[in-house]
């Protein structure tokens, strides 16, 4: 993989990627649903992004109603592990959300993130409107054109039909289990990478 930091900066500053679109609005909260492997990992990252109000871990994209974590782990329900992010459009925007997304997971591995293998770990963006769909398509096209990754991006772009919240013990998993081996070996490096690249976008510590 190329130098991800410099390549992302180039890719996201061409064709308007760096343009701000934070028009004041009476309805300034928006949400987007993303799947990038284990939801514990990307949940922990986005909880530290300035402008993000909440991150909920759950499941989308499957055929089974009200799936449990155990159901989804079988790989037979069709669901992906996802997070649903609610963010303030006056502070951050969909382009920044996507920049983080394509930095902290590998969008070129099909149905896999590291040792996590299965369709439930697929890279996917579930859009709720045409604006989100077009933004997702544009970013993927630009990243492929700039050859940021050694392989083509396999991230799917699909309409959001239903989001199911995961069990309570999956919420804020990293924060509640920082001493667990998975948190130290898998999640912590993703957080450190995020903090290095987006240090000016981190939430202020109380």
Active centre residues (catalytic) = 38
Provide the 8-state DSSP code for 57: E
Those residues with Cβ within 8 angstroms of residue 42's Cβ, 6 or more apart along the chain or in another chain: 34, 36, 83, 101, 104, 105, 190
Q: Rounded CA gap, 196 and 40, in Å?
A: 20
**Which own/partner pairs from 186-189 qualify as long-range (CB within 8 Å, at least 24 positions apart)?**
186/38, 186/41, 186/114, 187/40, 187/41, 187/44
Give the C-alpha distances (Å, rounded to integers) separating 99 from 4, 75, 178: 11, 28, 25
Pick the closest to residue 102 from 127, 125, 133, 129 (CA basis): 125
Degrees to nearest 5, angle at CA 130 with 124 and 136: 35
CB atoms within 10 A of CB 173: 21
């Amino acid at each position: 993989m190329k130098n991800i930091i410099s390549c992302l900066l180039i890719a996201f500053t061409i064709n308007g990627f760096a343009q701000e679109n934070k028009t004041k609005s009476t309805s300034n909260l928006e949400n987007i649903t993303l799947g990038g492997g284990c939801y514990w990992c990307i949940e922990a990252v986005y909880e530290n992004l300035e402008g993000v109000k909440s991150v909920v871990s759950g499941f989308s994209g499957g055929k089974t109603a009200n799936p449990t974590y155990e159901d989804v782990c079988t790989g037979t329900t069709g669901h992906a592990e996802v997070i649903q992010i609610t963010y303030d459009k006056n502070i951050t925007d969909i382009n920044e959300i996507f920049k983080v997304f394509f930095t902290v997971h590998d969008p070129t591995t099909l149905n896999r993130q590291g040792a996590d293998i299965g369709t439930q770990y697929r890279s996917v963006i579930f859009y709720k409107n045409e604006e989100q769909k077009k933004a997702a398509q544009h970013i993927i096209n630009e990243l492929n054109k700039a050859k940021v990754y050694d392989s083509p991006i396999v991230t799917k772009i699909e309409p959001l039909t239903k989001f199911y919240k995961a069990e309570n013990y999956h919420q804020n998993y990293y924060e509640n289990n920082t001493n667990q081996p998975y948190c130290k070996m898998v999640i912590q490096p993703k957080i450190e990478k995020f903090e290095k690249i987006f240090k000016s976008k981190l939430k202020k510590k109380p």
